Amino acid sequence: MTKALAMISGGLDSILAAKLIRNQGIQVIGVCFKSYFFNEVKAVEMCKQIDIPLIVIDFSKEHFNLVQNPKHGYGKNMNPCIDCHAMMMSYTGNLLEEYKADFIITGEVLNQRPMSQTKRSLDIVKKESGFSEKILRPLCALNLEPTKMEILGLVDREKLLDISGRSRSRQMELAELWGIKDYPSPAGGCKLTEPNYSERLRDLLKYNNNPTEEDIALLRYGRHFRVGNSKIMVSRTQNESKEMKRFLQQGDMMFFPKSYAGSMVILTGDKNAKAIEFAADVSLRYSKGKEQKEMTIKYGLYRKPLNKYINGKYLSDEEINEYSINL
């Protein structure tokens, strides 16, 4: 029986491509990837909707190395889509023999994205993957030259599609026809496509050549400020405080107002006097007493008694925005 490995992003296109091939009587196994910037949650949900098994590959470290120096550059933000897709295809290609599969399916659509899905980009991805003769793009196959799989009759080319461009109408029609629901927006699962997150990541890499997994995880939460080699973060909600605490490390500092309710303020990196003073001022700013000219702030090392005190001072919008790395 013909077998294919379908690269599943968790979005609509990839699951439609898998379903289209499965409808030809071909056995389909899903393959998805998790990294510091996206996970497998949506892929798991989508594969359940069309009843195919899913392999999850964690390539966080290798992917992060790619993100720092992509051969083909970035998209609109810090998304190195061409290099990322090629890496995923390479990983998937290396699974073909293990799973006795004949080819790879992707959900790419010609000209849907201006950087990563032009004809030139699609060709680059195939070449860089090392498995160019094993890649089939069912949703736009009729806009491309026939693949080896179509020529050999493993796949019926007449049952493939010719979708092109940014319109999602045909995909949505197929989703309704096949009962596929609750699918996310395109690229909705990748943090690297988000402007605010990308700005934080650029800032982190500028000041830290070797960030930890915890440093990267904290980029998802709170408000962020930069004072030289010091990073100050402020939680927005109580639940966010709990999440952020999961990634704090030995030596990180915490700040809270002594006599008012307030957000959790974290200081990482250098713990010099200027950074400590600014963290105290931020603690005042995001407290119930934010209009006070001064306020006593307690602080100390994470998981240690907060037994040090400093006066936080009022910050104007202009003063706090000077150090903000939130767009």
pLDDT in tens, 102-134: 999 999 999 887 666 788 899 999 999 999 999
Q: Is the pLDDT of residue 83 over 90?
A: yes
Rg (CA), the chain: 24
In single-letter form, the type of residue at position 166 comes to R
Name the pTM for this structure.
0.90
Angle value at C-alpha 278, between 272 and 283, nearest 5 degrees: 125
Q: Which two tokens stand for residue 261?
A: 């309710």
Domain 3-188 has CATH 3.40.50.261: no
Q: Is the pLDDT of residue 297 over 80?
A: yes
pLDDT in tens, 205-258: 999 989 999 999 999 999 999 999 999 999 999 999 999 999 999 999 999 999
Q: Is the pLDDT of residue 327 over 90?
A: no
What pLDDT, on a 0 to 100 scale, did the predictor assign at position 74?
93
Domain boundaries of the chain, sorted by first residue: 3-188, 194-321
Q: How confident is the model at residue 182 (pLDDT cuts 50, 70, 90)?
A: confident
Write out 18-82 in H/E/C secondary structure. Answer: HHHHHCCCCEEEEEEEECCCCCCHHHHHHHHHHCCCEEEEECHHHHHHHHHCCCCCCCCCCCCHH
Q: How confident is the model at residue 84 (pLDDT cuts 50, 70, 90)?
A: very high
What pLDDT, on a 0 to 100 scale, did the predictor assign at position 209?
87
Residue 323 and residue 278: Cα distance in Å, rounded? 10
134 close to 164: Cβ distance less than 8 angstroms: no
Largest CA distance in the chain: 77
Return the bridge partners of 313, or none: 294
- Please enumerate in sequence order all residues whose Cβ is within 8 A of that of 294, keeping only pairs 6 or more positions apart, or say none: 284, 311, 312, 313, 314
More confident residue, 285 or 184: 285
Write out the chain in H/E/C secondary structure. Answer: CCEEEEECCCCHHHHHHHHHHHCCCCEEEEEEEECCCCCCHHHHHHHHHHCCCEEEEECHHHHHHHHHCCCCCCCCCCCCHHHHHHHHHHHHHCCCCCCCCCEEECCCCECCCCCCCCHHHHHHHHHHHCCHHHEECCCCHHHCCCCHHHHCCCCCHHHCCCCECCCCHHHHHHHHHHCCCCCCCCCCCCHHHCHHHHHHHHHHHHHCCCCCHHHHHHHHCCEEEEECCEEEEECCCHHHHHHHHCCCCCCCEEEEECCCCECCEEEEECCCHHHHHHHHHHHHHCECCCCCCEEEEEEEECCCCCCEEEEEECCCHHHHHCCECCC
What pLDDT, on a 0 to 100 scale, did the predictor assign at position 177?
95
Return the bridge partners of 296, or none: 311
Q: Share the mean pLDDT of the chain.
A: 94
pLDDT in tens, 19-74: 999 999 999 999 999 999 999 999 999 999 999 999 999 999 999 999 999 999 99
Share of the chain above pLDDT 90, in %: 90
What pLDDT, on a 0 to 100 scale, did the predictor assign at position 188?
60
What pLDDT, on a 0 to 100 scale, did the predictor assign at position 115?
66
C-alpha distances in Å from residue 187, one per residue of 87, 98, 301: 17, 29, 38
